[in-house]
């Protein structure tokens, strides 16, 4: 990604999200809320099916940030969870440079959308770009 306002990095970060990945995330994160692995519990509480942790969507989106900022270049990463992410969803993240400061810090807007074009996550991040 070029450190220029308006430059865009677009990345498919999940293709056909599986229930298995939700379970793997529950184990890795320690968040075993039944909304994210127990279909009966989720439907009995008004949802069509179980759905991904917001933090899984944020973690998946983080792959695009690591691609741009490297493993240790991020200074800040914030996100709002706008819509549920369901098993089977394919997610695409778009990072757009919104500012470049004199000290080389690059600020980006973050948008992750599903296969229908619905925005499921919106956020911002800042850091130093990884060397290409």
Give the residues lining the site for other proteins (CB under 8 A): 13-14, 21, 24-25, 27-34, 38, 41, 45-46, 53-56, 58-60, 62-63, 65-66, 71-72, 74-81, 127
Nearest alpha carbon to residue 20 among 45, 52, 44: 52
Least distance between other proteins and beta carbon 45 (Å): 6
The nearest distance, CB 76 to other proteins, in angstroms, is 5
Looking at the Cβ atoms of 6 and 23, the one nearer to other proteins is 23
By beta-carbon proximity to other proteins, the closer residue of 4 and 19 is 19
Q: How far is the C-alpha of 36 from the C-alpha of 112, rounded, in Å?
A: 19
Q: Can you give the C-alpha Rg of the chain in angstroms?
A: 16
CA distances (Å), origin 25, targets 72, 114, 132: 22, 19, 30
Tell me whether residue 67 or residue 100 sits nearer to other proteins (CB atom): 67
* Residue 119 φ/ψ, nearest 5 degrees: -75, 120
């Amino acid at each position: 990604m070029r450190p220029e306002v308006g430059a865009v990095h677009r990345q498919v970060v999940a293709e056909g999200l599986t229930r298995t990945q939700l379970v793997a995330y529950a184990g890795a994160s320690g968040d075993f809320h039944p909304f994210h692995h127990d279909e009966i519990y989720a439907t009995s509480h008004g949802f069509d099916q179980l759905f991904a942790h917001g933090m899984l969507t944020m973690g998946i989106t983080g792959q695009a940030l690591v691609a741009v900022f490297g493993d240790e270049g991020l200074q800040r990463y914030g996100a709002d969870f706008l819509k549920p992410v369901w098993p089977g969803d394919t997610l695409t993240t778009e990072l757009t440079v919104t500012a470049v400061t004199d000290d080389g810090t690059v600020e980006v807007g973050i948008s992750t959308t599903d296969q229908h074009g619905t925005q499921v996550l919106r956020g911002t991040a800042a850091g130093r770009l990884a060397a290409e």
